Amino acid sequence: MSRIGKKPIKVEEGVDIKLENGKVKVKGPKGELTFDIPPYITVEKKDNEVIVKPIEKFPKRLKNQVKALWGTTRAIINNMVQGVLRGYEKKLQIEGIGYKASVQGKDLILEVGFTHPVKVQCPEGIQFSVEKNIITVSGVDRQKVGQIAAFIRSIKKPDPYKGKGIRYVGEQIRKKLGKKAVGAGA
């Protein structure tokens, strides 16, 4: 039994869930998301709750995979409900002399020590905002927000010696000692 999968999903006011043709459609004040229900999993709607269950009969060799899919499906649907209601955001911090970011139209322009500015195109359902050295990536789809934030961070990962680069707000970077601090072959 999946511990996460067993929990029902509470649907708050303002969120509408439709189950049709093997898909879950979640609509709320911030937007709309859809998800294909994987095989061997069923989704039922009762009153203001959504219940995710595995089907009764499935091959025994797939037991562990079905249990994993059960919990994952429940978590994804719960994230969809929270996303269309409240939205998600990730904040990144730029650190380094001359490093800066700006929003041009919908796209994000990064100047992080390369010979040319790096342009990050904004996918559908995602918004960028920049305030001083903080980049905010926001949207209704938790996976997309995290994926785009990770991509932006990967453009210029934090340097382990000086700490320059792009990092998540609150992320701790373990700094290494340089040659002089360690001692050059004494």
Kindly report the number of other CB atoms within 10 A of residue 142's CB atom.
19
Note the pLDDT tens digit of each residue in 171-185.
999 999 888 877 765
CB distance 128 to 122 below 8 Å = yes
Alpha helices in 52-164 (DSSP H): 63-85, 142-155
Note the pLDDT tens digit of each residue in 11-27.
989 999 999 989 999 99
- List the one residue out of 10, 149, 15, 23 whose CA is nearest residue 83: 15
The domain made up of 88-168 has a fold known as Outer Surface Protein A; domain 3 (3.90.930)
Maximal C-alpha separation, the chain: 74
CA atoms within 13 A on the CB side of 45: 14
Domain locations in the chain as residue ranges: 3-85, 88-168
The model's confidence at residue 83, banded by pLDDT at 50, 70 and 90, is very high
- The answer, as to whether pTM is greater than 0.85, is yes
Instruction: Write the CB contacts of 25 (distance below 8 Å, at least 6 apart in sequence).
Output: 17, 18, 19, 32, 33, 34
Within this chain, domains 3-85 and 88-168 share the same CATH topology: yes
- Domain 3-85 sits in CATH at 3.90.930.12
Query: What pLDDT shows up at residue 64?
Result: 87
CB distance 139 to 145 below 8 Å = yes
